[in-house]
Amino acid sequence: MQTLHFKTNMSSRDCVLKASEQIDKINTIKNWEVTTSTPEPVMTVRGTQLETNKIITAAKKAGFKAQLLA
């Protein structure tokens, strides 16, 4: 299982719910979560054969940013 971390601008539960409409469509993602309790939220994505570009595109389609953290 892979784990990827993204810097994001999803800063509330409502943002996460809105983004889930797009991110949940990616069938290689087993689970994902956003830490919204920090000044710079981080989205953690777990799954198999994860494609960074698909995750970033899904976040953009929902109106949010996602930048892969090293």
Parse the chain into domains and list their residue ranges.
2-68
DSSP state of 59: H
**Ranges of H-type helices in 1-70:** 13-23, 52-61
pTM given for the model: 0.93
Q: What pLDDT score was predicted for residue 32?
A: 98
Q: What pLDDT score was predicted for residue 12?
A: 94
CB atoms within 10 A of CB 24: 11
Element (H, E) at 32: strand 29-35
Mean pLDDT by groups of 10 residues along the chain of 70 residues? 97 96 97 94 97 98 96
Q: Which CATH architecture has domain 2-68?
A: 2-Layer Sandwich (3.30)
Distance CA(40)–CA(21), nearest Å, equals: 22
Q: What pLDDT score was predicted for residue 70?
A: 83
Q: CA angle at residue 18 from 43 to 24, to 5 degrees?
A: 65
